[in-house]
Amino acid sequence: MRIVNVYEARGQFSKLLDDAEAGEEIVIARNGRPIVKLVAVTPPRRVLGRYAARVPPVSDDAWAESDAAVAELFTKAAG
């Protein structure tokens, strides 16, 4: 764990971000007192199909019904 003061952190923030991303923990201090810890964030793991069991199945004719409903809306607007 490396301790860096605020003034030094301002001047080399990009390098500190690279170091944190590489796995190093960096503490930024003000007047010798630790203020914040700079660490890399682990992105959440995505699970495909997580909600598949919660979505009801769609019937094959569902699209035909919606196509007819949309067509009806356009014929009413035109007429």
CATH number, domain of 33, equals 3.40.1620.10
Per-residue pLDDT at 27 exceeds 70: yes
Beta partners for residue 29, in sequence order: 5, 34
Q: By residue range, what is the domain housing residue 32?
A: 2-38
Residue closest to 27 by CA, chosen among 12, 10, 5, 7? 5
Residue 74 lies in a domain: no
Name the average pLDDT for the chain. Answer: 86
Residue 21 lies in a domain: yes
**At 28, is the pLDDT very low, low, confident or very high (cuts 50, 70, 90)?**
very high
Mean pLDDT of 33-58: 85
Residue 47 lies in a domain: no
**At 77, is the pLDDT very low, low, confident or very high (cuts 50, 70, 90)?**
low
The three-state (H, E, C) secondary structure of the chain, written as one string: CEEEEHHHHHHCHHHHHHHHHCCCCEEEEECCEEEEEECCCCCCCCCCCCCHHHCCCCCCCHHHHHHHHHHHHHHHHHC
Please indicate, yes or no, whether the overall pTM of this predicted structure exceeds 0.75. no
